[in-house]
Amino acid sequence: MIRTLLAATALCCTMPALAKTITVEAGADAQERLQEALILAEPGDVVELGTGTFELTDGLSLDVDKVTVRGAGMNKSILNFAGQLGAGEGLLVTSDDVVLRDFAVEDSKGDGIKSKGADRIVYHAVRVEWTGGPKASNGAYGIYPVEASDILVQDSVVRGASDAGIYVGQSKNIIVRRNTAIENVAGIEIENSFDAEVTENLVTENTGGILVFDLPNLPQMGGHNVLVARNAIINNNTDNFAPEGNIVASVPAGTGVMVMANRNVQVVENAMINNGTSNVMVVAYTQKFNDPNYDPTPRDVYIADNVYGRAGFAPDFEGGQQLAAAFGGALPAVFYDGLGKGLIVNDAVPVLNLGLTEVGQSPMEAKPSLHKQKGPGEAAALSPIILPASMEAALK
Amino acid sequence: MRTFLAATALCVAGFAVSAAPTAPVALVDDAVITANGMPKKLSDFGFFKDQAGWQPNKGVELYQLNSPLFTDYAEKYRYIYIPAGKKAVAGGDGVVQFPVGSALIKSFGYEIDGQDRLLETRVLLHRADGWIALPYVWNAEQTEATLKVAGKRIPVSFTDPSGNKRDISYAVPNKNQCKECHSLSGAVVPIGPKMRNLPHDTLDMLLSNAMLEKTAGDHPPIPDYADDGMPLESRARAYLDINCAHCHNREGSASNSGLFLTYEEEALVHLGVGKRPVAAGRGSGGFEFAIAPGEPDQSIMMHRLKSLEPGVAMPEVGRSLVHEEGAALLSEWIAAMEKE
């Protein structure tokens, strides 16, 4: 009897409240109505955005687990932040198991959508855009999950970010697939993160296409296990419009893929075409730092089975033109600073090796040559990223 | 000065109310504090004897902080409520642990047209499953404050301490924004009442009312950053601690920034010295370091402190004016650092 009673009580306690759909339409007082819906939503609820443009006056935020925010489509339900008076981003998510889908965030003053510490988050078919195109006054990141485990960003579009269109920072277990990143400083950036797949994205007209970085003095360092595969990385020659001081401000225009200070990164089966500085750069972090736990070098980077178009015809760094002249008018498709260890390039393209021997060495001391590799190298395949089933199920 | 003003305001308001006949007042409603849900009206709690929210009820005590957070020069009136027969406990770490049923209450207002007016009252309620933060906005008649979970913007005109007329869009934070600052590893916590930030008279009051028990430890107070008799270094660190460190700490909302501004932080690079930005975007202002020693005008920290633009301005919420005095203090502190 007691046992049954206890069991029944336990059931009551764990049963979620009946999930409901809260519909919010565009129109007057959109800020208060939408923010209130996001606050009063309960786990399991769907906050549904109507068709039209929501004129917001402040940032929005969601801090309830297991809530879906769903619009009528990335060109139909538009959260417009042009009149925003406060907050560091358009939409901030700080709860777990959230699904964001089928709406747009336009012209936010800071970042577009930030999710911090939000585990198992899904971004599906959202658009984040600064509608005036590339400008230094645009917000930094478009889609910005940070400090989380299990992240899925797919079928989304990001344009105009003055730092990275899609930026995943200090996180684990990440899939970024089938997105379009256009006219950002960095199209897609994976930074200080572990276990990521960046696949099947169209990355074009950015300053740099796909960046895999690690930076010092951060709570999570030692970025590793990143797969960059089956992406179209084309025409990333937009002048760098990042505000100085930020690491991406140092990315040369015309960068296809850039791997910096990471370990176990595989760049395979991509189409890399018409990137004026280089299709792939493999380099160390060169700025001064004070952090004994930080390794600034690239290690075990594997490049294979890619399709290459033109590259290196307009190198955007000091001395680049002379260097290109020395190599017959264009830099080789792959650019390596010579630091770290374990670089394997199996593709039949020339690889420039700057021949640096110490991190932070002046490029003037470079001894550029063509990188020689005796036959194809081998690297163990990275383990596929498996996300919790609940994340895929949420999209059905 | 601030204490004096608050006390005066209390007397004046008290006088006005006591002149009118008043009905016997009920006590603070403990059940409303601890029950689930979000009471619609501030008066549901019974924190104040009067409708206008100036006369604290029995058990609700006015208190002060050594160094207060800047919120657009608003006057702030802080109250603490601990249920009868219970005590807060200050442990060795100087963090005050409040018993379930406690409430921290903070009213914000300005002197407008010669009258003290309240704009909002924020409450932090300690329930069995943790703290909850709720914002209440006062009506124009100053007779009731109503829950506004989504926050509110209120146009305000007032005169700042330097005599400048100010017109601002005062932002009452929404419930989530309350948590953005009051967050430690994702849970809501109080910020202000730590042992080191409570002045002697407040501590004496809490101890003599048997509201607080000190179990261990000595907690040297942090200075009032406005007290220019104190060393520059500790004033600047006190300012950063109370204005920035609620987010900029290893478990706070800005944990990913690597910029940690607590009073205890020892690593210069985490305080910002020679630290490059991570996710600052245009917040960097084109500068390389959070703090460029000796060069406040080349320091991102100063740039963001002096900005009013969303996306650049720090703190991200709760400020629509530049805190000139605070900026001057930090500028002086950075200028005094030896150039690298």
For residue A48, give the amino acid letter. Answer: E
pLDDT of residue B5: 44
Q: A32 in contact with B at a CB cutoff of 8 Å?
A: yes
pLDDT band per the 50, 70, 90 thresholds, residue A213: very high
Q: What's the confidence (pLDDT) of residue A11?
A: 45
Contact by Cβ (8 Å): B39, B32: yes
pLDDT at A246: 86
Which residues in chain B have their CB less than 8 angstroms from residue A140's CB? 279-283, 311
Q: Do B274 and A246 touch (CB under 8 A)?
A: no
In whole angstroms, give the CA distance from residue B182 to residue B192: 10
Give the best residue of A128, A130, A217 to mutate against chain B (max B CB count within 10 A).
A217
Q: If contacts are CB pairs under 8 Å, which of residues 280-299 in chain A contact chain B?
A: 287-288, 290-291
With an 8 Å Cβ cutoff, are A110 and B285 in contact? no
pLDDT of residue A89: 92
Residue A9 pLDDT > 60:
no
Of B249 and A8, the one with more pLDDT: B249
Model pLDDT, residue B7 = 45
Helices B324-335 and B232-243, packing angle to 10 deg: 130
Identify the pLDDT of residue B14. 42
Question: Of A67, A143, A61, A62, nearest to A98 (Cα)?
Answer: A67
Give pLDDT, residue A8: 45
Q: Which positions ≥6 away from B276 have C-beta within 8 Å?
A: A215, A245, A247, A287, B288, B289, B290
pLDDT tens track for A267-277: 999 999 999 99
Query: Is-contact A31 A53, C-beta < 8 A?
Result: no
Supply the pTM of this predicted model: 0.90
pLDDT at A6 over 70: no
| B49 near A CB under 8 A | no
Q: Do B278 and A169 touch (CB under 8 A)?
A: yes
pLDDT in tens, A136-183: 999 999 999 999 999 999 999 999 999 999 999 999 999 999 999 999
Chain A hits for B280, CB-CB cut-off 8 Å, are: 140, 243, 245-246
Cβ–Cβ gap A244/B186 under 8 Å: no
Higher pLDDT, A99 or B281: A99
**Sign of the alpha-carbon torsion through A251, A252, A256, A258:** negative
Q: What local confidence, expressed as pLDDT, does residue B22 receive?
A: 54
Residue with more model confidence, A31 or B282: A31
Mean pLDDT of A348-375: 88
Least confident of A7-21, A281-295, A301-315, B197-211: A7-21
Q: Give the separation between CA A218 and CA B312, rounded to whole angstroms.
A: 21
Chain A residues lying within 8 Å of B286, measured CB to CB = 243-245
Position A12 scores a pLDDT of 44
Task: Say how many CB pairs under 8 Å bridge A and B.
Answer: 148
A367-380 per-position pLDDT tens digit: 999 988 888 899 99
Residues (pLDDT < 70) of chain B are 1-25
